[in-house]
Amino acid sequence: MKIEIWSDIRCPFCYIGKRKFEMGLDKFEHKNNVEVEWKSFELDPGLKTQDDVNATAHLAAIKGISKERANEMQQYVKEIANEVGLDFNADKAIVANSFNGHRLIQLAKTKGLGNEAEEALFKAHFIEGKNIDDKEVLFEIGKNIGLDENKTRDVLASEAFAKEVKSDEAQAQTYGISGVPFFVLNDKYAVSGAQSPGTFLQALEQTWKESEEVKKPVVINEGESCTIDGTCD
């Protein structure tokens, strides 16, 4: 069973949603038969990286609200994150464009390390206060998750995997995805937003059940036949 997840590493609810999905998946009986693919989605492709501006100040500026109100909003998100074991630090989070981070994820996906890259970038942005648009930061993240150092430097120094990022975003448009996180299960069901672990588990179970039913033939009980015990009628 395949799960595709559209996400932006700048999105707090994408990180929270990742944790809630993982909590639901952990309780799923067939979790070892689930393939997860992370898909790129930029919430603000034109965002200019500002390494001297934190997320709270940026939120106040783009919303046209007071810093106090922005702090309240960030505190609300922090409390939700705490419920799933994440300790967000908005005062340290740097305003950074996520495009190069998505290119790193695309590289990682080719080596089966997409989930590791996604997790490391979320942590760098929301918890450690690192600049996820800084190529040295991205290089260190790539090295730490096991990517080849020379290959990572070559990718970051070029425009490699830009097409893959844009392809994911184009696919999101065809699905009508306007917000993330967005989870697509077996190209049939979708879960939008950071839903509860129970909701994710229910969606996984329903998708699995229906995918297994499709494999079984429809039996029409008409006509004579013989059973395995040798009875024929």
The two structure tokens encoding residue 41: 């989605």
CA-closest candidate to residue 31, choices 232, 208, 174: 208
Q: Does 225 fall in a domain? A: no
Average confidence (pLDDT) over 9-23:
98
Helices (H), 147-196: 149-156, 162-175
**What pLDDT is stored for residue 180 in this prediction?**
98
Q: Does 224 fall in a domain? A: no
Q: Does 203 fall in a domain? A: yes
Q: Does 30 fall in a domain? A: yes
Q: Does 220 fall in a domain? A: no
Q: Residues of the chain with pLDDT > 70: what percent? A: 91
Is 116's pLDDT higher than 80? yes
Average confidence (pLDDT) over 154-161:
98
Average confidence (pLDDT) over 85-90:
96
- Using a cut of 0.85, tell me whether the model's pTM lies above it: yes
Average confidence (pLDDT) over 138-152:
98
Q: Does 221 fall in a domain? A: no
Cα gap 158→138, rounded to integer Å? 13
Q: Does 31 fall in a domain? A: yes
CA distances 188 to 3, 12, 24, 42, 55, Å, are 10, 26, 19, 24, 36
The structural domain count of the chain equals 1
Q: Which domain holds residue 56?
A: 2-214
pLDDT single digits (tens) 19-37: 999 999 999 999 999 999 9
**What CATH number has the domain bearing residue 59?**
3.40.30.10
Q: Does 223 fall in a domain? A: no
Taking the CA atoms of 78, 11, 177 and 184 in sequence, report the sign of the dihedral they define: negative
CB 172 within 8 A of CB 6: yes
pLDDT single digits (tens) 176-226: 999 999 999 999 999 999 999 999 999 999 999 998 876 655 555 555 656
Angle of helix 67-83 relative to helix 12-26, nearest 10 degrees, comes to 10
Average confidence (pLDDT) over 53-79:
95
- Specify the residue for token string 């007071």: 66
CA-closest candidate to residue 105, choices 94, 93, 86, 120: 120
**What pLDDT is stored for residue 218 in this prediction?**
52
**What pLDDT is stored for residue 202 in this prediction?**
98
Report how far apart the first and last C-alpha atoms of the chain are (Å, whole number): 40
Q: Assign 4 a pLDDT band (cuts: 50, 70, 90).
A: very high
